Amino acid sequence: MNKPNQKMEDLAIDVLGRQDLPQDKFGSVIMIIMMVAILVNVIRVIQECNKNSKLDKVLLYKQHIRELSDRRGWFTKMKLRKLIRRELKSEDYKEYGWQLVDAILEKGASITDEEVLTLLETANV
């Protein structure tokens, strides 16, 4: 496995490890792949919002992610839940949707430049 894929997998595992989710379901390879897809979709939405900016992309996206994660507004939560709903089965979404939103926002509040760069590299492939 090459380095960006391993970093993306580590990021997904970190997000999933932030909540009390059942390991038999959320520790699986399939759930890690789903979390990677959710995170890539999140960064694509943020890219679309900032596509006309001339600032350094990594710094801009890091600030935007941290701002959204700190504010935790209803629109941010709604968009995250929509992205999560696409990836999970309906019964898993109903039971664990809010926990996954909280885990993503918690990770977003402390995201590093390297993690943002990994997300950008993965989203732009």
pLDDT tens for each residue of 93-123:
998 889 999 999 999 999 999 988 888 888 8
Q: Do 85 and 93 meet the contact criterion of CB atoms below 8 Å apart? A: yes
What amino acid occupies position 122? T
* SS3 call for 96: helix
Measured between its terminal Cα atoms, the distance across the chain in Å is: 16
**Contacts of 46 by beta carbon, 8 Å cutoff, 6+ apart:** 61, 64, 65, 68
Overall residue count recorded for the chain in this entry: 125
Residues of the chain under the 70 pLDDT cut: 1-4, 21, 23-27, 125
What pLDDT does residue 26 have? 63
Q: Torsions phi, psi of 52, nearest 5? A: -95, 0
Q: Any alpha helices (H) in 17-112, and if so which ranges?
A: 23-26, 29-49, 57-71, 74-87, 90-109
What pLDDT does residue 1 have? 46
Q: Whole-number mean pLDDT of the chain?
A: 84
To the question of pTM greater than 0.85 for the whole model, the response is no
Backbone Cα Rg of the chain: 14
What pLDDT does residue 125 have? 54
Q: Torsions phi, psi of 89, nearest 5? A: -65, 155
Q: Do 32 and 14 meet the contact criterion of CB atoms below 8 Å apart? A: no
